[in-house]
Each structure stands twice: as structure tokens, then as C-alpha cells.
Amino acid sequence: MNPVQVPPAPPVTLVLFGASGDLTRRLLVPAMINMTRLGLAKDGLRILGVGIEPGDGATLRKALDDFTPEAGGEGAVEKGEAWKQLRSRIDYIQGDFTADAVYRQIAEWIAHASTGNAAFYLAVQPRFFGDIVDKLADNKLLDETPTAFRRIAIEKPFGQDLPSARALNARILKRVSESQVYRIDHFLGKETVQNIMTARFANMMIERLWTNDCIDHVQITAAETVDVGTRGKFYDSTGALRDMVPNHLFQLLAMVAMEPPNSFDAEAIRDEKGKVLRAIRTYSPEEAARSGVRGAYAAGKLDGTAVPAYTEVPNVAGDSSTETYVALKLLIDTWRWAGVPFYLRTGKVMAARNTEVVIAFKPVPFAQFGKTPAGSLPANRLIIHIQPDEGLSMDILIKRPGLAVDAVPVNLDFHYADRFDIAHQVGYESLLYDLFIGDQTLFQRADAIEAGWAAVQPFLDLWAASGKPDLYAPGSLGPDSADELLARDGRVWHELAAQVPKP
């Protein structure tokens, strides 16, 4: 089958609030270079950076020139001709996001660029989200016409908890319609996350088994080897739960657990995702205490390098009770998932960088292979490898060659890299393209954001009230209490593929 060709995005001015920040340099601009090279963005793409740092277009262009993406690492794009083309269409305005003057300049710039269409990308601190939307609306920058769209893309974190997320949604939706709001969760830009839907709904042999009849439990892991490093200020008021669970891990959970949408239309998919997130059981404080574990890394070594304890990280309180690791057992109250626990875990400075979903099937009900009873045969597993080694693998049993009837587990393994060239994608290409063409499938709707926060709120409340995270050693798989969480159910975490962490 030939790949489906997509047309280039329409002309658009991308107004980038927070243009001098890390996200612009590391991911957004590399993604637009890739889009230019692939013919997905043409001359009509104009970029206007807005930031509080002094400078002009030449300063921003120079800063982007000097940024050399690490070879083979994230953002490793080939700059070449595509960068030359894109570079000439980048400009910058310095200004205070809360002052009207800068919005008048933006309006003039957009009028001058004559693309008509504009997308405002908020890669700024969350405290500015509401103010920027208000100012854009006050200055009539969000008024659409039949020939010119106006859209807003908002980075995470969207709120700090359920009440703040609700308040932010209400504030934004007073000024623009939901169809203009693109709430980013960069996990949805990952090929393998998008592939979950294809793996399920394009394969009879997968989707037919996708219920509590056949599935014993699901494990969703986002293990990281990075430490908190220079992000102490942000991280200490956030923690692993807020940083990773209601957003990234719940995107994976929603893809795995949603019902088949009746079309691949954005609203049909977002309806199903919203429904399943709302079906996550909201725990009582006692249930939350039994179903959640938090950890913080102690001082130690990771791959031979000394790692200071989390509480010694600059800008982290010495007596901080913020978690850098979290493991949860969640239940989804639907016919399909009744009785199937979803175990989620994520943490910093763990033994390996590995994001994956493990579907653990039930053991066969009966089998007699020589003297091997059914109970001792390992159950099938389907593993969706999100990163770093994108792919799909399956543990099945086969007969060991020989005279005796002996079943042995083997692994069927598919690696994306063996078949496709995805190494140079930074993960924001599809998100930006969809923002420009107006496809909201890969963006979070207000109801899904609020459902995610509602599900984790009992843990936030419980942990804010008392207690401290359990300590774990750098390079480990988290605190012992996380193993106990599964051991109480007679289960174990999936072993993580050992991996040499990035320096």
C-alpha cells in the first residue's frame, strides 16, 4: 500500500508567545523545518515570535541559527535548505503579554503578512494563559471570518487541579469557542501513541480480545532516567502526578480503553475519550490511600554518575513532600473493563527510559502439555512500545521443537525503525499540521481535561493533607511500596528493557 499523501497546510501566521523559550528552539522550530522539508508547510507559513526578552527578528533568527540539534537526539533535524526557507519568514516582537500595545503590533503584523489565518501558540508560563486569551479577544484578534481562522494552541499544564482547570476552561470559553482551542498534550504527537488506535481498530485479532473476558490487567509506564535538574521551581509545586498522569498517561489510557468511535472524525474520537476518562472510578480517601504510591528519589548513582537527592535540587524545599514517582491502580467502571485494573507508573531517575503499555492477557482456562498444567503457562502479553524503541511486541507460546510436548514463550517483535524512517521527527509535526488545517483529533477537549483532573483529585487531596513520599534509589524501578501495590493483587510490574541513559 502506498502512503496516503496529505496536502500542504494553508497559509497561516503562527504567533508564538514565549518564542525565546526552550520549546520553540527544541521542538516547535525543528518540527516546522521538517514540515517545510516534507512540503507540509509552504511559503504561506509566517512565524511571529513574541517574548519579554529584548530583541528583534534578527536576534531570534540568529539564536535559532546557533542552535544545533544534537545528532541523533531529540530535535535532531536536518536544517539545510528547509531552514533557509523558513528562516526568512521569522520575525519577533518584544513586549509584555499583559499590555495592549503588543497586541496592536501583532494585529498590524498579521494584517501585513496578509495570510488572514492566524494561530496563537501559548508556550508560556501557565499563569499567562488566561490573560493572553483575554487580551487577544479584547483586541479582536480572535474574531474569525469565513475566510480567515483564528486558533489558540495551549501547552500544558492546563490547571493545577480540578477547580483551577475548570476555572481556566470557563475563562477561555467565555472569549472563544471550543472549536478554536487546541489544548496540547505532546504525547498525542507521538507516532506510537496514535498507532494505538490503528492497532486496535484495524486488527480484528486485537480488538476482538480487547475486553475483560480476555484481559487480566493493563500496565502503563512512563519511566524516565532524567532527574529534576534545573526545573526545581516548576517541579516542586507540580510533582510527578500532576506533571504526567492526568495528561500524558491518561492519553495512553484513553487510547487503550476507549470504545471504537463511529467515525474518525475529531468529535467522535473525543467523545469516546471523554467517556472513558469519566468512567475512571473516583476514589474515596480510603480507596485512594490503598491505590496510590508516591516516591521521591534519594541520593545515589545513576549509571556511575552521582545524583543528589530530590530534596537537594536547587529551588526544591529541603523538607519537600513533592513526589518524583507515582504508581496508581485505577478502575474503569464500564462493561468492557469491569474487574480489569489499570496500573500506571511514572518516575524520574529510574533504571531505564521506557514508555510502554502492557496488555496482560488472562491465562488459558485449560491446557495439558505433557505434564504442564494451564496455570503454569505464562499468559500472553501485547506490549506497545511508545519510546525510545517504538514498536509492538507480543509474547506467545509455541511448541518447543522435539519429541516432548513442551510449550515455550517466544516474542514476536516489530520495531518501527526497521521499516520506517521516523528518527528525525520531533513529535510536533502532526500537532502543528493539524492546528493549521483545523483538525482537533489530537487535542484535548475541555471535558476530557476536567475528567482527567477529577480522577486524580482524590490522590492530590490525600497527599496534600499528610505524609511523605517513600524514598527510592536512583537507577531503581521506584520504591518498594510500588511493588507491594501489585503484589497485593498477586501481580508484578513488567520488567523494563535495560537502557543506557543519555549523558
Residues with catalytic annotation? 248
The reply to whether 224 sits near ligand BG6 by the rule CB under 6 A is yes
Give the E-state strand segments of 281-400 in sequence order: 292-297, 300-302, 305-307, 325-330, 342-347, 354-361, 368-369, 372-373, 381-387, 391-399
H/E stretch holding 108: helix 100-113
- Write the binding mask 176 to 205 for ligand BG6: x where contact by CB under 6 A, - elsewhere: ----------x-------------------
The reply to whether 356 sits near ligand BG6 by the rule CB under 6 A is no
The reply to whether 155 sits near ligand BG6 by the rule CB under 6 A is no
User: Measured between alpha carbons, how far is 303 from 306 in angstroms, rounded to an integer?
Assistant: 8
In DSSP terms, 427 is beta-bridged to: none
- The answer for residues whose C-beta is within 8 angstroms of residue 204's C-beta and 6 or more apart is none
Q: Is 220 helix (H, G, I), strand (E, B) or coil?
A: strand
Of 162, 163, 167, 173, nearest to 452 by C-alpha is 162
Radius of gyration of the chain (CA): 24
CB of 313 to ligand BG6, least distance (A): 13
- The answer for residues whose C-beta is within 8 angstroms of residue 187's C-beta and 6 or more apart is 193, 247, 248, 251, 252, 386
- Beta pairing class for 215-223 and 342-347: parallel
CB of 389 to ligand BG6, least distance (A): 13
CB of 444 to ligand BG6, least distance (A): 13
Q: How many Cβ atoms from other residues are within 10 Å of residue 66's Cβ? A: 8
Q: Is 234 helix (H, G, I), strand (E, B) or coil?
A: helix
Closest CB to ligand BG6 belongs to which residue? 243
**Would you say 350 and 223 are in contact if contact means Cβ atoms under 8 Å apart?**
yes
Residue showing cell 498477586? 490
CB of 49 to ligand BG6, least distance (A): 22
CB of 355 to ligand BG6, least distance (A): 6
- Write the binding mask 396 to 435 for ligand BG6: x where contact by CB under 6 A, - elsewhere: ----------------------------------------
Looking at beta carbons only, is 224 or 272 nearer to ligand BG6?
A: 224
Looking at beta carbons only, is 61 or 186 nearer to ligand BG6?
A: 186
Looking at beta carbons only, is 37 or 248 nearer to ligand BG6?
A: 248
- Write the binding mask 237 to 266 for ligand BG6: x where contact by CB under 6 A, - elsewhere: ------x-----------------------
Three-state secondary structure along 191-217?
Answer: HHHHHHHHHHHCCHHHHCCCCCCCEEE
CB of 106 to ligand BG6, least distance (A): 27
Binders of ligand BG6 among 300-329, rule CB under 6 A?
A: none
Looking at beta carbons only, is 282 or 499 nearer to ligand BG6?
A: 499
Looking at beta carbons only, is 186 or 294 nearer to ligand BG6?
A: 186
Size of the site for ligand BG6 (CB under 6 A): 5
Looking at beta carbons only, is 224 or 450 nearer to ligand BG6?
A: 224
Binders of ligand BG6 among 13-52, rule CB under 6 A?
A: none
Looking at beta carbons only, is 169 or 355 nearer to ligand BG6?
A: 355
State which amino acid sits at residue 425: Q
- Write the binding mask 89 to 108 for ligand BG6: x where contact by CB under 6 A, - elsewhere: --------------------
H/E stretch holding 286: helix 285-291
Of 471, 470, 466, 480, nearest to 309 by C-alpha is 471
CB of 225 to ligand BG6, least distance (A): 10
Binding stretches for ligand BG6 (CB under 6 A): 156, 186, 224, 243, 355
